[in-house]
Structure 1
């Protein structure tokens, strides 16, 4: 049983940090020209910046919810999406760094064997660490794919 727990944690960590069957967020943002960060293609609602910032906000919210019983989530949907399409260089750098830092912090929680993967979080309505790990991975993969589609539309994907 102990080995199954270790294997599950390893698989969840890989799901969050590696591409496996899809590109990672790092892959999707690699060599992105700064001038394309804020472009909203015709017919689409968001820029790459808005998607990256949304990933940051949602991942931060999931992390804080998981570790903090008194955490208050942002108001949906207004506080999960930035209003401006174009970031400053400083805002972009801060977003990308926080995504990485929050991911590292969540993976540390995930790999702390003192944290039961299946025990409902006391602040939740049945959510578990396992569920939150899957949510982070699923959410990031979905929006990473959108970033790649936008890059393809803008002629900036390999």
Structure 2
């Protein structure tokens, strides 16, 4: 697969809404809203996405981070940001990580980066894309349920 595939796939082209766009226009107060139908808030999903995005970026840089023992460790206890600045900074961390993944997609995708598991850079990027894709859909659904969908530019 080409770097073009990964660069476009990281943004959901031809598959789903862009993982950056899914947050567009969402006020920080709404990011922490939960309903009985949703086990997580958008805030919690965003932080979970950041955890795994950072994990895969570490692998792409040739380091092997310690995986969490339980998936619960990758979800924050806090359901909401404490203020707008925290929301904006956290979103910026996510979008910067996505840009970093785009840059990683421009490198040799067949190179082994996780020798312990025998995964190539392309394998790692595919996992990152799939994880972000899954949770992007989850965020779109949560936003629908809490009445904060669609994004303003739609």
Please report the TM-score for the alignment, with normalisation by the length of structure 2.
0.86
Is the 2:112–2:118 contact (alpha carbons within 8 Å) kept by the matching residues of 1? yes
The number of residues matched between the two structures is 149
Is the 2:59–2:124 contact (alpha carbons within 8 Å) kept by the matching residues of 1? no
What RMSD in Å do the two structures reach over aligned CA positions? 1.8
User: Alpha-carbon deviations, 1:81-116, whole Å to 9, x = none?
Assistant: 11110112233222211112112222212203xx3x
For 2:116, the equivalent position in structure 1 comes to 124
What's the CA shift for 1:70? 4.5
Structure showing greater radius of gyration is 1
Give me the whole-angstrom Cα distance separating, in 2, the residues matched to 1:155 and 1:11.
33
What's the CA shift for 1:120? 2.7
Question: Where does structure 1 differ by over 6 angstroms across 4 or more consecutive aligned residues?
Answer: none
Change in CA separation of 1:85 and 1:97 when aligned onto 2, cut-off 3 Å? same
Give me the whole-angstrom Cα distance separating, in 1, the residues matched to 2:81 and 2:75.
13
What's the CA shift for 1:156? 1.5
Give me the whole-angstrom Cα distance separating, in 1, the residues matched to 2:131 and 2:114.
23
Which range moves more in the overlay, 144-153 or 9-18?
Answer: 9-18
Change in CA separation of 1:22 and 1:70 when aligned onto 2, cut-off 3 Å? closer
Larger RCO (alpha carbons 8 Å, 6+ apart): 2
Where structure 1 has 5 or more consecutive residues not aligned to the other structure, the ranges are none
What's the CA shift for 1:13? 0.8
